[in-house]
Amino acid sequence: MTQAPEISTARLRTMRSRLLAWYLEHRRDLPWRRSRDPFAIWISESMLQQTRVETVIPYYERFLERFPDVETLADSDIEEVYGLWAGLGYYSRARNLHAAAKMVVEQYGGRLPDQVEDLRRLKGVGRYTAGALASIAFDREEPLVDGNVIRVLTRWLGWRSDVSQKKVVDALWEIAGRLVLGPQPGDLNQALMELGATVCTPRSPRCSECPIGRSCQGRKEGDVESIPRKPRKQRVRAVRGVAAWIERKGRVLMVRREEGGLLGGMWELPGGTIEE
């Protein structure tokens, strides 16, 4: 079934109230949740993409200590930004943050815009990040959908369509858009993500602790771990390469990778891949 199951407004309202009540009682105490500063929330959302919370916390704290506001970040050298990001991975996020900070200063007077349409004009800010910032930082009724939200919604609905399909993801965005309408939209979005991260986990979900477990179709069917349905992952392709260490008077030759590709803009030893 590729079409989303029908959901009544009353059912969504019940789900919404239970999620909020659960979140206010069980949410984790994370540093970015103690701040209402849109810049700090932006930094956290950028770092949390495809990265575990435990890994992000020390990077987040060091980053804000050095760059407490968007102007400081915009005026900084990209190499210093890379230095503070080193070890966090996905370095395009750091490069995009730096470029977007310059856009905020030049086009928005140093104030992060509060509308999704304007946020999405910023370098590296996609649909998810724009929704997160608009709802969490500015209390806008804007949805967000990430891996955790996809898992929670598809299990609750008992929806077994392939979540790699665009029409399925678009339908989940529409459902999330209906669910977020009402008070505390930022808390509601965080509740969905928190539930997926701590209770409705990919393996061994703690269904007995779930605030919406009684109305979860996947739980009723008894095989919640089989949802969401995804295509099989492709095998990782091994690549062989060679690098040269060229040293002169204590200095080592390095080259910068081209922008836009894998690890774009980063420094490396000269070399390349070995063809078959």
**Which residues participate in catalysis according to the annotation?**
45
Q: What phi and psi values does residue 245 have, to the nearest 5 degrees? A: -100, 110
Return the ∠ at Cα 177 (arms to 175 and 182), rounded to 5°: 120
Buried b (16+ CB within 10 A) or exposed e, 140-175: bbbbbbbebbbbbbbbbbbbbbebeeeebeebbbeb
**Whether the Cβ atoms of residue 266 and residue 91 lie closer than 8 Å to each other:** yes
CA dist 75 and 139 (Å) reads 29
CA dist 144 and 76 (Å) reads 30
CA dist 254 and 256 (Å) reads 7
CA atoms within 13 A on the CB side of 129: 27
- If you ran DSSP here, which 8-state letter would residue 230 be given? -
Largest CA distance in the chain: 73
**Distance of CA 11 to CAs 19, 147, 208, 212, Å?**
12, 22, 20, 11
What are residue 252's DSSP bridge partners? 247
